Amino acid sequence: MTVNYKKDMVVYQIYPRSFMDSDGDGVGDIRGIISRLDHIASLGVNAIWLSPVYVSPNDDNGYDIADYKAIQPQFGTMEDFETLVREAKARSIGIIMDLVINHTSDEHEWFRRALAGEEKYQDYYIIREGKDGGLPNNWGNFFAECPWTKFGDTDKYYLHLFSKKQPDLNWRNPAVLEEVKDIMRFWLDKGVIGFRCDVINVIWKDTLDDGKKSLVLTGSEHYLSKDGCHNILNILRREVLDPYGAFTVGETVFVDLEKARDLTDPARKELDMVFSFEHMEVDQVIVKWFKTRLVPQKLMRVITKWQQGLDWNATYFENHDQPRFLSRFSDAKGHRKECAKMIAGLLLTLRGTPYIYEGQEIGMTNGDFENIGEIMDIESRNIYKLAKKLHFPRALRWKMIMRTSRDHARTPMQWDWSENAGFTTGRPWLKVNANHEYINVKRDTVDKNGVSAFFKQMIHLRKTCPALLEGSFESLFEGRQVYAFKREYEGKALVSVMNMTAKPAKLPQQVMGYTQMVACNYAEEAGDTLRPFEFRLLAKRSDINALGL
Ligand code: ISL
């Protein structure tokens, strides 16, 4: 398969636990994915990013890996995985693995042997004495835990930026680098096309000194995108990825434009692109657990800033860590399909590599959870506990979960209107949303005005029209409701214009010369008024042929 990973790729992310269960145990699996490949292929995507499928005790649903070279039995076998790679390839789809190398599981053999006293493996992790009868430092933890846990029955502690079952690796030890190279080659030899690198910009800890006190993450100035991290990425690129022509997208937490530029600068040979977070944070107050109304104009500004600031990057609005994007628009109720299609239009006409998250293509919404007992995510459960300790009223605690929990993205994929949405014949591991009765693949894909039909149309347009793939980006209008931008290639342009609210809005004068409708998320034509969440792709009449349309 010859895909120019940067320009031609449209990625579909699968969260395997929640995608399709083939054996009735209530958990999705690889055979389930294979059985649904035709649906994925029908969208026109050419890559699948698989969230982790490795052996794991599932403290963090697979992001705690106990064996990097074996498949979690619940998900199937290595043979199943090889079949998946083959079957995907037969449909011109490449597989991207999730590479989680900031930490392992505490049940990984390396950590077990470290605990058993083998010094070699103790040096794989970050293990320190306490200071003045306390912890080794004052750092914070991503999951609202204490980042230091007693190392076995010694007086020492090990560092974990995530759960206590996710000990951080010691990247100063060259043996760790060698192990990871070997793991990467193992999967590349199986035919995967690249990696999504989990929290890759935190792997290198410059010092373990106390950090500046911060409400967000105390200590992060000592490990965010440090030179040591750049250096490791460069080694992995040159020695492992390049010989295979493989691709990487880095998940880079708290990344700013300048750091993102360094990490993706082709001359530096590190990552191909990164997932940035600023557009995911426009509706938050200090931390993601406190959300306010999403103000469209703020979103537009951040999108424009990143479009202009980087030559090329990953674009996304959903993944397994984020609430469903359409559910963030407080006035989208009653306009679900239009809003889902507007997001599709935006995603697929920005410059960069688009990532679609499972269920986004049919307009799935946040989960309809009723109480904390239904929430499985470790991060949500921890934050709920912490908020209780801080005496937050129960209603506020629940509101935090209902606005932000990662489980909103993880509810089982809605295939049809039957019990459990066709996801499993058993008991689903996480509550299926009751709205599967009308939001599901079976219904949406036969609807010519369905969300998935619009995704297909937009993906097809990207493939046929160089202006959408390679064209420059220019913001034309950022209003209280309406966003418009231009993609131009060899003097010919396409314009995306959309209303990000439920109130009708005037077409801005900046798009007036573009009278030819190329695509629209409403079935019937309309005049100069943009209806709720309306998206239009426009061109000049005289340019239609030259644009490849
Ligand atoms: O969602 C987040 C930020 O908005 C964080 O909760 C998230 O933990 C962070 O983005 C890092 O995410 C990645 O690493 C975690 C794992 O739990 C996430 O699922 C993964 O995407 C630890 O491996």
* C-alpha to C-alpha distances, 302 to 164, 295, 308, 341, 528, nearest whole angstrom: 34, 11, 10, 20, 27
Please work out whether the CB of residue 60 comes within 6 Å of at least one atom of ligand 1.
Answer: yes
| The architecture CATH gives domain 1-99+313-366+411-464 | Alpha-Beta Barrel (3.20)
pLDDT of residue 526: 82
Q: Which atom of ligand 1 is nearest to the CA of 406?
A: 1
* Residue ranges per structural domain of the chain: 1-99+313-366+411-464, 109-159, 370-404, 469-543
DSSP state of 187: H
CATH superfamily of 109-159: Oligo-1,6-glucosidase; Domain 2 (3.90.400.10)
* C-alpha to C-alpha distances, 71 to 32, 98, 424, nearest whole angstrom: 14, 13, 20
Please state the rounded mean pLDDT for residues 64-82: 98
What is the distance between the alpha carbons of residues 496 and 511, in angstroms, rounded to a whole number? 9
Domains 1-99+313-366+411-464 and 109-159 share a fold: no
**Average pLDDT in the chain:** 97
Please work out whether the CB of residue 288 comes within 6 Å of at least one atom of ligand 1.
Answer: yes
pLDDT digits (tens, 9 = 90+) for 272-316: 999 999 999 999 999 999 999 999 999 999 999 999 999 999 999
Closest C-alpha residue for ligand 1 atom 16 = 63
pLDDT of residue 6: 65
Residues 6+ apart with CB under 8 A from 545: none
- Domain 469-543 matching CATH 2.10.10.90: the answer reads no
pLDDT over 70, % of the chain: 99
Catalytic residue among 198, 377, 379, 407: 198
Query: Distance from the CA of 433 to the center of ligand 1, in angstroms?
Result: 23
Please state the rounded mean pLDDT for residues 310-326: 98
pLDDT of residue 4: 66
Please state the rounded mean pLDDT for residues 197-216: 96
29 is catalytic: no
For residue 119, pLDDT beyond 90: yes
Please work out whether the CB of residue 126 comes within 6 Å of at least one atom of ligand 1.
Answer: no
pLDDT of residue 1: 42
pLDDT of residue 360: 98
* C-alpha to C-alpha distances, 505 to 145, 311, 484, 529, 549, nearest whole angstrom: 46, 31, 13, 6, 28
Q: Indicate the helix (H) or strand (E) that contains 85.
A: helix 78-90
Please state the rounded mean pLDDT for residues 213-237: 96
pLDDT over 90, % of the chain: 96
pLDDT of residue 525: 82
Catalytic residue among 21, 251, 358, 407: 251
Is 532:503 a contact under the CB 8 Å cutoff?
A: yes
The lowest-confidence range among 52-66, 82-96, 521-535 is: 521-535
pLDDT digits (tens, 9 = 90+) for 152-185: 999 999 999 999 999 999 999 999 999 999 999 9
pLDDT of residue 549: 84
Please work out whether the CB of residue 198 comes within 6 Å of at least one atom of ligand 1.
Answer: yes
Helix H, strand E, coil C: the string for 330-344 is CCCCCCHHHHHHHHH
Q: Which atom of ligand 1 is nearest to the CA of 288?
A: 4
Closest C-alpha residue for ligand 1 atom 22 = 63
pLDDT of residue 3: 55
For residue 25, pLDDT beyond 70: yes
pLDDT of residue 5: 66
- Per-residue pLDDT band for 443 (boundaries 50, 70, 90) equals very high
Ligand 1 pocket check: which of 102, 199, 277, 322 to mutate, most ligand atoms within 8 Å of Cβ?
199
For residue 114, pLDDT beyond 80: yes
368 is catalytic: no
What is the distance between the alpha carbons of residues 138 and 432, in angstroms, rounded to a whole number? 40
For residue 397, pLDDT beyond 80: yes
pLDDT digits (tens, 9 = 90+) for 468-527: 999 999 999 999 999 999 999 999 999 999 999 999 999 999 999 999 999 999 998 888
- Per-residue pLDDT band for 463 (boundaries 50, 70, 90) equals very high
Ligand 1 pocket check: which of 321, 383, 400, 405 to mutate, most ligand atoms within 8 Å of Cβ?
321
Please work out whether the CB of residue 100 comes within 6 Å of at least one atom of ligand 1.
Answer: yes
For residue 218, pLDDT beyond 80: yes
